[in-house]
Structure 1
Amino acid sequence: MPRSYRRSAVAFLLCGVLAMTLFVTGPAQAKDSAWTVRGPSPHSGPLAQLRLDGASGALALQVSRGGRTVIEPSPVGIVTERADLSHGLRYLGRHDRTVVERYRSTVGKQRSRTARMTETRFRFRGGGNARLDLVVRVSDDGVAYRYDLPSGSGDVLGETSAFTLPPDAAAWLGDYRKDNENLFKEYTAATAPTGEYMAQALFETGGGYALIAESDLTGRYSAARLTHQQGMPTYRIGLWDERVESDGPLSTPWRALIVGDLPTVTQSTFTDDLAPASRVADTSWIRPGPALWTWLAGGKPAGQSLSMQKGYVDYAAQRGWPYVVVDAGWYFDPDQWDVTDPDWQRNSWIPQLVDYARERQVGIQVWIHHRDLDTAEEREQWLPTLERWGVKGVKIDFMDSESQETLRWYDEILKDTAAHHLLVNFHGSTIPKGIQRTWPQVMSMEGVNGEEKRTNTPQHLATLPFTRNVIGSMDFTPGAFHRPERPNAVSDAGEVGLSVLYESGIQNLAGTPESYDARPLARRFLEQIPATWDRTRLLAGRPGESAVLARASGSRWFIGGTFTGPAHTAEVPLRLEPGRWLVDLILDGPDGLVRKPTVVRGGQTLSVPVAADGGFAAIACRWRPGLSTCDRP
């Protein structure tokens, strides 16, 4: 037999044997694949590991820090009209890059920011030849991922995204509510009751703390909440809408984990770092600052009275507060005008108030109901009018939804308020998931069980700095000394401290002029609250027990602390720069507030007597011989 024929015969025989082998044994088992994404500081920061199961084609993401687990392998996937991209995936490749972005914020924990992240884009193909890109970012303080889908993917029907914690991880959770205003309570990851929770959940694991968050949420998608079954340590992403409409390429919001020790998490700007850059070119008109909020001070009658509002303007001018916020009532009085009349604006006294306030260097912001701005025609009626009157900002209330339709409304109102140079404070709202970087006129958002509520607890107050306020400005409205319902009613010093402890671009101070005048030390402290902060540091605390934060403005540090439990002496590390500091303390005394100046070196411990469920406030400045106060003249 010729040699070429012999070769052909052997090849044919081998093919036959291989075919028989495959017939008998079936297809070979595919191997698992795993990839690691490291951040800028892999030895101290978190790292993410993505794993593709060879048998099911399903993805799972694990997060660790310092060699210890933060998040157990957790499902990653999305389901669209065209394909179920939670399994059956085949790896196509990856692309790595470094992201470095520098930007300035109009509000928040610090003005100047630098975001450094490593980014890996993983490309997959699923059933029906559907495509999916999974984009993973890792920074020194967080891990995030999002799904990128090409045109033709259809509407999104849901995500299989989830976070699996160690079962015994301490958990601070708030039941889900459409306006994000429920209390935080402490559980463990597995024992929390079955239900839905707000997507601002904090866990303590062996690898540090992890705060679940979301960023770059717009009308292209639907807001997330967490769903949980008691006994299981997994928290799944649930969307407001059963179907998310998409008619083109889609980048979903970021599923984010803020990761690190407690100071790292508390001081993090990760959700802003993930968000798109500012869409407002000229921000010179955007001016944060404290405001006298007249709702808790005077209620609806104050909103209906020009003379009362002038009195508040006078008081704000005396205090040096740049704003007065006129709340509900100013445009709902039937004795003033018919709101269905196109010329109703001419009957308003707001322009008179604006002129009066301008002469005293005070700006006016006004409350307005969402239903009066929910169409393009209404926005065209209201917003140019308010700008023409000289109103500086709007407090928009009662959206009470995180649906895709409502988020599309946010997109429109944000463009319109920027165009008409109006600052914005959203109430009855979602929370600021990166929105303040993209739209810097957003001074604050509610999304918190704040001072006007009657159900707050000291534990809730001591959890907010580690959960809700990490994500963005929070309009808690502190300073309502006259309200007996406030949870730290026995501690006026604690109430003063909340004005620093809680960050808000417009710090709406909720007390009456009489209550401030009765507490001159509190009044003097609140007169000095800065418009913005340069830096923020956590000095001490644990969620649900205590929180002490220091925020810098120029060379001075403002300090606020809140504590739960009986009266005691708190030991607070003064984590400031080296050198001697004069710490001007405001404490609770037997007959009211007292001032106690103390000289301490940076890094030493500050002993602070606090009342039961109370707190304190302080200003720290560089000590020099003869200096006895940190007050500015």
Structure 2
Amino acid sequence: NPGEMNGLGSSTPGLALPGATPWRTITVGSGLKPIVETTVPFDVVEPLYEPSQEYKFGRSTWSWIMWQDPSINYDDQIRFIDLASEMGYEYTLIDGGWEKNIGRDRMEELFKYAHQKNVDVFVWYNSNGYWNDAPQDAKQCMSNSVARKKEMKWLQKCGVKGLKVDFFGSDKQQMMGLYEDILTDANEYGLMIIFHGCTIPRGWERMYPNYVGSEAVLASENLIFNQHFDDMEAYNACLHPFIRNTIGCMEFGGTLLNKRHNRTNDGGTIRKTTDVFQLATAVLYQNPIQNFALAPNNLTDAPALAIDFMKQVPTTWDETVFLDGYPGKYCVLARRHGDRWYVVGVNAQKEPLKLSLNLPMWEKGETVSYYLDDKKRQPQLEELKIKNPAEVKVVIQPEGGIILTK
């Protein structure tokens, strides 16, 4: 679109000859299973460079999603570092506005405090150059190599592990080059990269070893901004595994345990989905760094079973199996991390959904943990003995979820 990048830059791509265009892939199947499980976007690409170090994936807290702009201050960031430590999470994300509201000297103090709590840090940046007039800071640090390397050298010195870079706003060739420039420079300084306000990934998990996620979806912030998205949350959750998340990792920023989406859990938009639905999305949505939308108050006002589950849930998967579902109605997936399986399901329909699942990963007589909603939409944790792995009966409540794991 010529109007992208505020009308700047060419919308016509070019390449030197001999050359090759990027892959564009289509997955076609007789059913939904090969679409959900496809690996084609990764199969057709190769790594473009070696990792400068071993990158560690994991879970993260994130103040901005529930507490918004006013939380970008020193004291609130301390609280979310403490939350990450309490949850056993690897990371916290300090979002936009830190340069003005906290300042670089106090940011270094935050980094030191986080490291004392065994928590590493991601830091938010605006991607902007002359094509982007978004006001959020830190600004003008990513748009050219000189500024970018200076910034990344400082972050490396401070022990920061990654960046979340936002507001790209174009698929023009010039902007696509910026994505690659940020990734390659970051690798030199041992930094991982999350993209936000961005295009979809195109096999980037394999091409760039320090790439750890793209938003490229109407993500969790919309649940805070507009009640319509809360009303449609279950429906949209039953689209993502078939559409957006099947092509690559999706940095959604989900699992919201507040009933109300504001700082004090008593105002703002209203969550329509159940607690178990929210827990299920921690597995249903795939991204190697998960910025979960938990808040400090959830340690006391959310069900203990939910907090315990969120302390244990992984973010990387060795195997994914589509079990049942239909776009916009319901979805049941199984994911394996090491030797542990998680089977999760969500239901966007208005009536309870009764299913019989084929779960060959477990044997007759095995007992698994079973998270479900009761008829009053309250979370329950039971022990379920597998009588027949080919016919495991479950019920998913409207706008609810299930999890079976062992």
Decide: shared fold, TM above 0.5. yes
What does residue range 129-144 of structure 1 map to in structure 2 within 5 Å?
A: none
Q: Structure 1 residues 380 and 438, CA, compared in 2 at 3 Å: closer, same or farther?
A: same
Name the structure 2 match of 1:316.
84
* Matching residue within 208, 215, 218 for 1:446: 215
**Counterparts of 1:165-204 in structure 2 under 5 Å?**
none
Q: Quote the residue 1:357 is aligned against.
A: 114
User: By how many angstroms is 1:307 displaced?
Assistant: 2.2
Q: Cα deviation per residue 1:202-237 (whole Å; 9 max; x = unaligned)?
A: xxxxxxxxxxxxxxxxxxxxxxxxxxxxxxxxxxxx
Q: CA deviation at 1:527?
A: 0.6
Q: Tell me how far apart the structure 1 counterparts of residues 315 and 377 of structure 2 sit (CA, whole Å).
A: 31
Q: 1:583 to 1:367 in 2, by over 3 A?
A: same
2:125 aligns with 368
Residue 152 of structure 1 corresponds to: none
- Superposition pairs for residues 584-595 of structure 1, below 5 Å? 584-589=369-374, 590=376, 592-595=378-381
**Is 1:516–1:522's contact at 8 Å kept on the other side of the alignment?**
no
| Offset, 1:250 | 2.1
* Residue in structure 2 matched with residue 530 of structure 1 by the alignment: 314
2:238 corresponds in structure 1 to 462
Please tell me the residue identity of whatever aligns with 1:474.
Answer: M
Among candidates 38, 51, 54, match of residue 268 of structure 1: 38
Give 1:583's aligned residue. 368
The 1-side partners of 2:353 and 2:25 are apart by: 37
Letter in 2 for 1:537: V
Could you tell me how far apart the structure 2 residues matched to 1:556 and 1:241 are? 49
Q: Paired residue for 1:423?
A: 192
* Cα displacement string for residues 70-110 of structure 1 (whole angstroms, at most 9, x for unaligned residues): xxxxxxxxxxxxxxxxxxxxxxxxxxxxxxxxxxxxxxxxx
Map of 1:16-165 to 2, 5 A cutoff?
none
Which residue is 1:199 aligned to? none
Q: CA deviation at 1:381?
A: 2.4
Q: Tell me if structure 1 keeps the 8 A contact 2:259–2:270.
A: no
SS at match of 1:331: helix
The alpha carbon displacement at 1:298 in A equals 2.3
* C-alpha deviation, 1:438, in angstroms: 0.8
Q: Would you say the 8 A contact 1:563–1:615 is kept in 2?
A: yes
- Distance change >3 Å, CA 578–CA 296, structure 1 → 2: closer
Report if aligned partners of 1:327, 1:367 keep a CA contact under 8 Å in 2.
Answer: yes
Paired amino acid for 2:91: Y
**Do the aligned partners of 2:51 and 2:187 also contact (CA within 8 Å) in 1?**
no
Among candidates 600, 608, 623, match of residue 386 of structure 2: 600
In structure 2, what residue type is equivalent to 1:527?
Answer: K
1:186-265 matches, within 5 Å, as 242-260=11-29, 261-265=31-35
1:497–1:616 Cα contact (<8 Å) kept? yes
Who is 1:202 aligned against?
none
Deviation at 1:363, TM superposition (A): 0.6
Matching residue's letter, 1:616: I
Higher RCO, Cα 8 Å, sep 6+: 2
Q: Which residue of the partner structure matches residue 506 of structure 1? A: 289
Deviation at 1:267, TM superposition (A): 1.2
**1:379-414 per-position Cα deviation (integer Å, ceiling 9, x unaligned):** 022111111111111000001111101011112111
The residue that corresponds to 1:550 in the other structure is 334
The one-letter code sitting in structure 2 at the alignment partner of 1:552 is R
Shift of 1:484: 4.1
Aligned Cα root-mean-square deviation (Å)? 2.4
Please show how residues 7-22 of structure 1 align to structure 2 within 5 Å: none
Partners of 1:574 and 1:293 lie apart in 2 by 37
Query: Could you tell which deviates more after superposition, 374-383 or 361-370?
Result: 374-383
C-alpha distance in 2 between matches for 1:271 and 1:475: 17
Q: 1:439 and 1:550 mapped to 2: Cα distance?
A: 27
- State whether residues 377 and 397 of structure 2, in contact with CA within 8 Å, keep that contact through their aligned partners in structure 1: no
Counterpart of 1:513 in 2: which secondary structure? Answer: coil
1:56 maps to which residue? Answer: none
What amino acid does structure 2 have at the position aligned with 1:586? Y
Q: How far apart, in 2, do the equivalents of 1:602 and 1:269 lie?
A: 31
Partner of 2:59: 290
The answer as to whether partners of 1:568 and 1:611 remain within 8 angstroms in 2 is yes
Paired AA for residue 387 in structure 1: Q
SS at match of 1:497: helix
User: 1:574 aligns to what?
Assistant: 358
Cα distance in 2, alignment partners of residues 561 and 487 from structure 1: 22
Contact conserved, 2:47 with 2:209, CA < 8 A, in 1?
no
Tell whether the 8 Å contact from 2:36 to 2:246 is kept in structure 1 after alignment: yes
Deviation of the 1:530 alpha carbon:
1.3
Question: Is residue 535–residue 551 contact of structure 1 (8 Å, CA) maintained in 2?
Answer: yes
Cα displacement (A) at 1:505: 0.8
Deviations 1:356-377 (A, max 9, x none): 1112211111111112211122
Separation (CA, whole Å) in 2 of partners of 1:267 and 1:279: 26
Q: 2:136 — aligned with what?
A: none
Structure 2 CA distance for aligned equivalents of residues 520 and 255 of structure 1: 45
Structure 2 CA distance, aligned partners of 1:496 and 1:572?
A: 21
The answer to whether the Cα contact below 8 Å between 1:309 and 1:326 also exists between their aligned partners in 2 is yes
Q: Contact conserved, 1:488 with 1:613, CA < 8 A, in 2? A: no
The equivalent residue for 1:189 is: none
Aligned to 1:378: 147
Q: 2:96 aligns with which of 312, 324, 328?
A: 328
Provide the TM-score with structure 2 as the length reference: 0.85
- SS of 1:494's partner is helix
Secondary structure at the aligned position of 1:558 is classed as: strand
Kindly indicate whether the alpha-carbon contact (under 8 Å) linking 1:469 and 1:503 is maintained by their aligned counterparts in 2.
yes
**Contact between 1:576 and 1:602, CA under 8 Å: does it hold in 2?**
no
After superposition, give the CA deviation of every residue in 1:32-53 in whole Å (9 maximum; x if it has no partner).
Answer: xxxxxxxxxxxxxxxxxxxxxx
Q: Is the 8 A contact 1:488 1:494 kept in 2?
A: no
Say which structure is richer in helix.
2
Q: Is the 8 A contact 2:249 2:287 kept in 1?
A: yes
- The answer on whether the counterparts of 1:539 and 1:574 sit within 8 Å (CA) in structure 2 is yes
Q: TM-score, normalised by structure 1?
A: 0.56
Residues 103-143 of structure 1, C-alpha deviations (whole Å, 9 max, x = no match): xxxxxxxxxxxxxxxxxxxxxxxxxxxxxxxxxxxxxxxxx
Give 1:277 shift: 2.2
**Residue 311 of structure 1 aligns to a residue in which SS?**
helix
The equivalent residue for 1:432 is 201
* Distance across 1 between alignment mates of 2:335 and 2:4: 31
**In 2, distance between residues paired with 1:242 and 1:369?**
22
CA distance in 2, matches of 1:532, 1:419: 24
Equivalents in 1 of 2:252, 2:39: separation in Å?
19
C-alpha displacement of 1:470: 0.6
Report the 3-state secondary structure (helix = DSSP H, G, I; strand = E; otherwise coil) of the residue aligned with 1:407: helix
Instruction: Indicate how the Cα distance of structure 1 residues 517 and 504 shifts in structure 2: closer, same or farther if over 3 A, else same.
Output: farther
Q: What SS does the corresponding residue of 2:393 show, helix, strand or coil?
A: strand
Letter in 2 for 1:428: G
